[in-house]
Structure 1
Amino acid sequence: MDLGFIGLGAMGQLIVPRLMAAGHAVTGWNRSRDKADDLIAQGMRWADTPRAVAAKSEIVFSIVTDAKAVRACALGPDGVVAGIKRGGIYIDMSTIEPDESRAIAAEFDKAGAVMLDGPLSGSPVTVKAGQASVMIGGDEAAFERARPVLLAIGPKVTRIGSNGLACQMKIAVNLLLMVEVIAFGEAVALAEKGGVSRESAVDAILKSVAASPVLGYRGPFILEGKMPEVPLADVTLQQKDMMLALNLGRRLGSPVPLAAAANEMMNACRGLGIDGNDFVVAHQVYRRLGGQE
């Protein structure tokens, strides 16, 4: 199938090769072309605008930073909506506000096309391992058409419901992930304060009933020399998602006190100047608060 992909950052760099390996032809675009060089060398075609990507594609994907970026590449005279064929499918994999996603989807409906929200649950580690999951919100028939392509990205593809609901579910999942990782740092710092070595604490947690996939690959980052130079998700990126959860909780009248507490730990990371690291670095905040550093 002829596919389009917009946004060739950390995730796009991993997803596009998976689509090409499955036999699909991919045309890509990114705001800065240099990020496309490696993918072009692997066989990806380049287009000068999102509109040009859409004109060559049956299904167009995007994964960008926020709702403003989605609007910029999806709407307007050079956007996906201007080039997409009637009956074409646009799948935005970004983590954005549900209402923003629904509003953009309405513009595609006016153009005779379909937009699905399809946020990806997983880090570069899980995408590379072929274990990412994709949640879909929107038209069921369009979802079924796109399902074979989505399965090239990851084996767990689920339709959550109507437009915007996959975005809502992704925010909820990220809330859980954030709280889990922050609690991990709290637990390790408590064990250390009582005399357990950090290595032993991490090893014990990863062998316990509290272990999980995210702790399995992220937990060791807090060991000496293990913090990645390029974060899987730094404090700023993760805090963006926490703000989505806090705002959604406020709008829906659903309490999210643990999200608020986790967000405050991100603020503390900023205050200490360690926010350029993967957000598991909150463990250092707990150590400092406990007088360990």
Structure 2
Amino acid sequence: MSEAVGLVGLGAMGARMARRLVAAGHPVTAWARDPARAALLAGDGVVFVATPRDVAEGCSTVVGCLLDDEAIRSVYGGGDGLIAGAGPGQVFVEHGTFSPDLARELSALLSAAGAAFIDAPVTGGPEGAEAGTLVAMAGGDRHTVDSRRTLFADYLASVHHIGASGSGLRLKLVNQLLVSVHMAGAVEAAALLRSESIPLDAALPVLMGGWAASAMLERELPRAMREDFASTGAAIQGLVPVQDLVARQFESAGISSRVFPAVREMFRDAVACGFGADDPARLLDLYRRDGS
């Protein structure tokens, strides 16, 4: 029988990971804060337990895809948390995006219990989680990362060991800097294309065929041009806390960013305008507000 896997964090990414793990033959034990999410996945063969501690006590590998520092502290800590149920030989893998300092803290706490921790944030979005094409960047002991590669292959495309605990997250924040900038650039390009009456079907092959190409251009330019603003799991408001972490990384590095502050302001303005639940293509409406 395939390895039993524990799972916490069943949002847009985690739920899709859970389905891929079940499809690969893994018994999956999970905990969900929201009963509605549990109900959606119970029919897919996921077994739910009462607390995160119950997840940890029943599985040699526990996978998390939690939202932020606050959620991670809540689920990992306390008497009913993952750490309380941790024991020798277990491996905890967290795919959420959170602060590198917290990763080092969790690593130390789990090490004291005889367990290991890997911070392994992913890139590729909900679509990548659905297709199994996510790329992970891992911080932690290399041997521990290597010991779980067979499991990772069942729901990720690749896992790259970056360095010591927190290293995966430091690279993820650079990734999110680029994602944010590319998203903003794609939407600004859409505003200009619309003003010049250049159609999408003429512009996109050219832009994607040369140096302007990026994954976010390919994703967001069509959405903005077509005014397709419905979120598919990557909403404007979800990127704002991650952008706060990116800003802190710049401060820690002693670098005064020239580009990122303007992009960060765009996302904050969009939330203030009530667009937070929408896809980042909705940033286009900021240009309408400006009269473009």
Instruction: Sort the TM-score into its range (normalised by shorter chain).
Output: over 0.9
Give the counterpart letter for 2:148 in structure 1.
Answer: A
Q: Tell me what 1:286 maps to.
A: 287
Correspondence list, 1:250-269, <5 A: 250-269=251-270
CA contact under 8 A between 1:4 and 1:61: conserved in structure 2? yes
2:214 to 212, 216, 227: 212
Name structure 1 gaps, 5 residues minimum.
none
Closer/same/farther in 2, CA of residues 167 and 30 from structure 1, 3 Å limit: same
Judging changes above 3 Å, is the alpha-carbon distance between structure 1 residues 263 and 232 closer, same or farther for their aligned structure 2 residues?
Answer: same
1:119 corresponds to 2:125: no
CA deviations over 1:20-52 (Å, ceiling 9, x no partner) = 122211100011122022322111111111110
Q: Select the residue among 133, 136, 148 that pairs with 2:135.
A: 133
Structure 1: distance between partners of 2:42 and 2:54: 16
Would the aligned equivalents of 2:228 and 2:281 in 1 still touch at CA under 8 Å? no
In structure 2, how many angstroms separate the alpha carbons of the residues matched to 1:200 and 1:189?
15
> What's 1:86 paired with?
88
The equivalences for 1:27-46 within 5 A come to 27-46=29-48
Paired position in structure 2 for 1:69: 71
Counterpart of 2:246 in structure 1 is 245
How far the C-alpha of 1:272 sits from its partner, in A, is: 2.8
Q: Deviations over 1:224-278 (max 9, x none)?
A: 35222x3432221111111110011112212333221110111221343323211
Deviates more, 1:215-224 or 1:79-88: 215-224
Per-residue displacement from partner, 1:75-112 (whole Å, max 9, x unpaired)? 22111111123110011111001011111211111111
Is the contact made by 2:69 and 2:98 (CA closer than 8 Å) also made in structure 1? yes
Residue range with higher mean Cα deviation, 57-66 or 34-43: 34-43
Distance (whole Å) between structure 1 residues aligned to residue 199 and residue 239 of structure 2? 28
**What SS does the corresponding residue of 2:133 show, helix, strand or coil?**
coil
CA distance in 2, matches of 1:93, 1:276: 22
CA contact (8 A) 1:199 1:223 kept: no
- Measured in 2, the distance between the counterparts of 1:235 and 1:226 equals 14
Partner of 2:14: 12
Counterpart in 2 of 1:104? 106
Structure 2: unaligned runs, 5 residues or longer: none
Which string of whole-angstrom CA distances, capped at 9 and with x for unpartnered residues, describes residues 147-169 of structure 1? 11111122121111100010111
For 2:130, the aligned partner's letter is K
Give the alignment partner of residue 25 of structure 1, picking from 8, 27, 39: 27
Match of 1:53 in 2: 55
Q: Contact 2:190–2:224 at 8 Å: present in 1 too?
A: no
**Is 1:190 aligned to 2:199, yes or no?**
no
Q: Which amino acid aligns with 1:98?
A: P
Give aligned-pair identity as a percent: 29
Given that 1:57 and 1:84 are in contact with CA atoms closer than 8 Å, whether structure 2 keeps it comes out as no
Provide the C-alpha distance between the structure 2 equivalents of 1:227 and 1:93, rounded to a whole number of angstroms: 26
Which residue in 1 is equivalent to 2:228?
A: 226
Partners of 1:226 and 1:33 lie apart in 2 by 30
Quote how far apart the aligned CAs of 1:287 are: 4.0
| SS, match of residue 91 in structure 1 | strand
After superposition, the Cα gap between the structure-2 partners of 1:68 and 1:274, relative to the gap in structure 1 and judged at 3 Å, is closer
Q: How has the CA–CA distance of structure 1 residues 62 and 34 changed in structure 2, closer, same or farther, with 3 Å as cutoff?
A: same
Q: Secondary structure of 1:10's partner?
A: coil
8 Å Cα contact 2:5/2:28 also seen in 1? yes
The secondary structure found in structure 2 opposite 1:209 is coil
Corresponding position: 1:147 with 2:144? no
Aligned residue identity for 1:252: A
- Whichever residue aligns with residue 191 of structure 2, its letter is A
Could you tell me how far apart the structure 1 residues matched to 2:131 and 2:245 are? 28
What value does the CA root-mean-square deviation take over the aligned residues? 1.8
Shift of 1:199: 5.6
